[in-house]
Structure 1
Amino acid sequence: MTVVAVVGAQWGDEGKSKIVEHLAAEAALVAQYAGGYNPGQSLMADAERLVFHVLPAGALKMGRTCLLAQGMALDPRLLLEELASLEAHGALKGELKVDQRAQVVLPHHIEIDRLRDEAEGASGAPRRGVGPAYSDAVARRGVRVGDLLDPSYMLQQVKASLEANRVVLLGLGAEVPEVEPIVDALASCGEKLRHRIVDGGRLIMDLARDERRVVIEGALGSMVDLHHGYYPFVVSASTVAGGACTGTGIPPKAIDKVIGVAKAYVTRSGSGPLPSELTGELAKRLQDVGGELSPVTARPRRCGMFDVPVLRYAARVNGFDSVALTKLDVLTGIDEIPICVGYELDGNVRDEPPFEGSSRMQPLTEMVKGWDEPLGDCREYDELPENARKYIEMIESTSGVAIDLISVGPDRSQTIVRRSPI
């Protein structure tokens, strides 16, 4: 298989990067197609823990060629800062490319989000201008990465954006910045990025025609997709497999496989529905053992039991060929593990997340016996404890989705290939 899309099946933080690394061992290119500012990817370099919000730092450290595709919204200043940091620590082993059609996050986009966070008392990771940048893109007044090389055209677009956002900025108590300093700074960024700017869709298709592997990674998860998530608790981009086409510029038929990534339990950062949310001792245990803390805010993520209806829904929306199950090892030592197999809403049983009434849903739960044996050294499916295998097989039988990859620890080698997904 040549082009493989990897998509989060839940609310994000499913461990997609590890699965991408596993699949990208022989890949010519790793591409990201949505979003632009993630909660933070940690990387150790020179015995120092670095956090990156834009760069696919892990893949670059491993020597991969990476593409930030046209569906993304990027802050070029932050992008250059992270590149410099990676290079300063001797960890920039790969090559970074940026699609000419990717949207640019402008300084006033960031300011709008910052002030909205303050006004709303937002408790999640801070927003960094991605939403306002996408809003400008939809209104056709956005700046794209390729525009950084054309200051005269960029000037028109920045003027249009500032004029349209003037009322918002003033309403939030901010000043409207001058146009020229923004354009000058972005033009400088453009010159530094010039050798990295490409037509991403053409790059992918040229590699595919040569039968070279391309791995395309989605941002966050299916349940925060603009159209398919729990609206309005969603992001401004398409995070599902369909977004891999519009977000990279390749046709649907070019994607050979779609692999979903699901954590062995569910987590969510910030507000919004989490139907199978747990409280009390078990939730605290998952947070502690699973390391479920936001790298940005250090706040614990909300945790819940594995949600079969969510996986069933994500599989339908994305067309998963198979699923990678991550963090199975975190469940070791729990006597009985709850699984959400459906919802009750107004006296009716639902087998997928309903469009309406999320606040009135009650999870329908089944219990699975746990295991005490550590999983970190397991490399074959049959080496897993019997109850761990039963847990996996119950998820498969109730969701109708095949689980081909199983992660039993943070190291890339701690991955069980039950069946090759590609």
Structure 2
Amino acid sequence: MNNLNLVVLGAQWGDEGKGRLVDWLAGQADIVARFNGGHNAGHTIVIDGKSYKLSLLPSGLVRGKKGVIGNGVVIEPNAFFAEISRMREMGVDVTPDNLTIAETACLVLPIHKIVDQEQEKRRKNAIGTTLRGIGPAYEDKVGRRAIRICDLASPKLLEEKLDMLLAHHNAWLKGGGAETVEKQPILDELLKFAPELLSYSGPVWSMLDKAMNDGESILFEGSQAVMLDVDWGSYPYVTSSGTLAASAASGTGVGVNRIGSVLGVSKCYATRVGEGPFPTELADELGQFLQSEGKEFGVNTGRPRRCGWLDIVQLKQAIKVSGMSSIALTKLDVLDQLKLIKVCVAYEISGRISDLEAFSSPKVNNAKPIYEEFSGWECTTQGISSFFDLPEKAKQLIKRIEDLIEIPISIVTTGPDRLDTIVLRDPKSCM
């Protein structure tokens, strides 16, 4: 295994603060590679009070690092170029010299957004997607009718593939009484974007192989989180791509024996956007406090996040199925004002106590959390960058969480800024 490389994954339902950690860790990397998701993901990086909001672009670009978007990502051209424009306005220049997109990455088309909205409308129980067409784009990928960036180089092939894709989706739309979609506007837009998109594209798998052979280090950046993985998450309330460490390999073309250590990112509490089971959810004033204090609103959508206590049962599953070697614990400072802090250590389901339960199982819908309670420290931790300077009760909570999850906690964050970071151990050394 390559001990120069590191995979950063969300260990809950997303929004754990992966972007700022990737930004911080990118200082030790040569390349930052994004491997899954689309512009439904949102990463916020705060540097000297200035916020950079990213969706498709690898977070390391803000650090001046080489960026890669792998074949596991789906690209919406308008969103991609709009994000590049926003970054340029903030002083981050993005060009084919510092960003490469896998030539086999699939595209998100206007019809995908229409299908996404129609699917949510027709479902008895809505999934709570971002309605940006990500799910239908992945459906086309698996259905072998997707349009990939490399297809843009051949207008004839592009038109043939677009005909097949539209025939499939328009039949479904028409069958449900919705309006169908015309080909020409989509084709014209794709042909307009083709030259510039193709200028960013290349054989990412080969590029990364050469970089590793030359001794360069790669930081693999995941979007969403393990509990939203299409196989291992709280199905069907999941995303449409793989979010585990194994997806860092398949989503970039790197062998699994070369991806390196795996850093999971978890808040000191838990949040979730959209529908689906959430055993430790706090639907009360305390949940509203966490939402307000933690600024728990979606980067892209502005949707409020559901908030609750940290769930060790959920976290242990994420650790085990993704092979996480250490955890970064974020947003410790959000708990500063609390007199009492709880951590879920087991579930009671139909009279049975369990500390390891599959979140893909419907049984979790009826799980009653069993908590351990901790006294709060009731003083500020924001900006503390040394473990020894933390209040004793905060240290006790961190040490107990580490005991419960059975892997090391390597990083603790105490605020949104790049420097609000406590390093307990190098995550690359946890293998």
Alignment TM class, shorter chain as reference: over 0.9
Residue 119 of structure 2 aligns with which residue? Answer: 116
Give 1:297 shift: 4.0
Cα 1:164–1:315 shift into 2, 3 Å: same
Task: Please list, as runs of the form range in 1=range in 2, the aligned pairs for 1:323-338 lying within 5 A after superposition.
Answer: 323-338=327-342
Quick check: 1:411 aligned with 2:417?
A: yes
Cα 1:229–1:212 shift into 2, 3 Å: same
Structure-2 separation of matches of 1:173 and 1:189: 31
* Aligned residue type for 1:242: A
Structure-1 separation of matches of 2:385 and 2:246: 33
Matched-pair contact (CA < 8 Å) for 1:104–1:145: yes
* Aligned residue type for 1:13: D
Residue 187 of structure 1 aligns with which residue? Answer: 191
Give 1:2 shift: 2.0
Quick check: 1:101 aligned with 2:104?
A: yes
Structure-1 separation of matches of 2:64 and 2:305: 31
* Aligned residue type for 1:268: R
Residue 28 of structure 1 aligns with which residue? Answer: 30
Residue 234 of structure 2 aligns with which residue? Answer: 230
* Aligned residue type for 2:17: G
Give 1:122 shift: 5.6
* Aligned residue type for 1:329: D
From 380, 393, 397, give the equivalent of 1:391. Answer: 397
Quick check: 1:83 aligned with 2:84?
A: yes
* Aligned residue type for 1:80: F
* Aligned residue type for 2:192: S
Matched-pair contact (CA < 8 Å) for 1:155–1:180: no
Matched-pair contact (CA < 8 Å) for 1:307–1:341: yes
Matched-pair contact (CA < 8 Å) for 1:221–1:239: yes
Cα 1:83–1:297 shift into 2, 3 Å: closer
Matched residue SS, 2:99: strand
Structure-2 separation of matches of 1:204 and 1:124: 35
Structure-1 separation of matches of 2:45 and 2:176: 36
Larger deviation, residues 226-235 vs 202-211: 202-211
Larger deviation, residues 65-74 vs 164-173: 164-173
For the aligned residue pairs, the C-alpha RMSD in angstroms reads 2.2
Matched-pair contact (CA < 8 Å) for 2:105–2:148: yes
Quick check: 1:378 aligned with 2:379?
A: no
Structure-2 separation of matches of 1:48 and 1:278: 31
* Aligned residue type for 2:27: A
Give 1:43 shift: 6.4
Matched residue SS, 2:427: coil
Structure-1 separation of matches of 2:168 and 2:114: 15
Matched-pair contact (CA < 8 Å) for 2:383–2:421: no
Structure-2 separation of matches of 1:155 and 1:30: 34
Cα 1:261–1:110 shift into 2, 3 Å: same
Residue 178 of structure 1 aligns with which residue? Answer: 182
User: Which deviations, in whole Å up to 9, do the C-alpha atoms of 1:346-372 show, x marking residues without a partner?
Assistant: 111111233231221100111011102
Matched-pair contact (CA < 8 Å) for 1:125–1:296: no
TM-score w.r.t. the length of structure 1 is: 0.94
Structure-2 separation of matches of 1:413 and 1:142: 42
Structure-2 separation of matches of 1:377 and 1:162: 52
From 343, 347, 368, give the equivalent of 2:347. Answer: 343
Q: Which runs of 5+ in 2 are unaligned?
A: none
Matched residue SS, 1:228: coil
From 264, 267, 285, give the equivalent of 1:260. Answer: 264
Task: Please list, as runs of the form range in 1=range in 2, the aligned pairs for 1:214-253 lying within 5 A after superposition.
Answer: 214-253=218-257
Structure-1 separation of matches of 2:19 and 2:89: 23
Give 1:174 shift: 3.8
Matched residue SS, 2:370: strand
User: Which deviations, in whole Å up to 9, do the C-alpha atoms of 1:141-196 show, x marking residues without a partner?
Assistant: 11111111222111121111111112222245443333343223212212012221
User: Which deviations, in whole Å up to 9, do the C-alpha atoms of 1:15-64 show, x marking residues without a partner?
Assistant: 0011111211032111111110225345689x9977543233x5323322
Matched-pair contact (CA < 8 Å) for 1:62–1:93: no
Give 1:100 shift: 0.7
* Aligned residue type for 2:102: D
Structure-2 separation of matches of 1:159 and 1:188: 18
Give 1:124 shift: 4.4
Matched-pair contact (CA < 8 Å) for 2:377–2:391: yes
Identity of aligned residues (%): 35
TM-score w.r.t. the length of structure 2 is: 0.92
Larger deviation, residues 76-85 vs 401-410: 76-85
Residue 126 of structure 1 aligns with which residue? Answer: 130
Residue 207 of structure 1 aligns with which residue? Answer: 211
Matched residue SS, 1:7: strand
Aligned residues: 421
Residue 140 of structure 1 aligns with which residue? Answer: 144
Quick check: 1:292 aligned with 2:292?
A: no
Matched residue SS, 1:305: strand
Give 1:67 shift: 1.1
Give 1:6 shift: 0.6
Structure-2 separation of matches of 1:254 and 1:141: 31
Residue 196 of structure 1 aligns with which residue? Answer: 200
* Aligned residue type for 1:96: L
* Aligned residue type for 2:422: I
Give 1:81 shift: 2.1
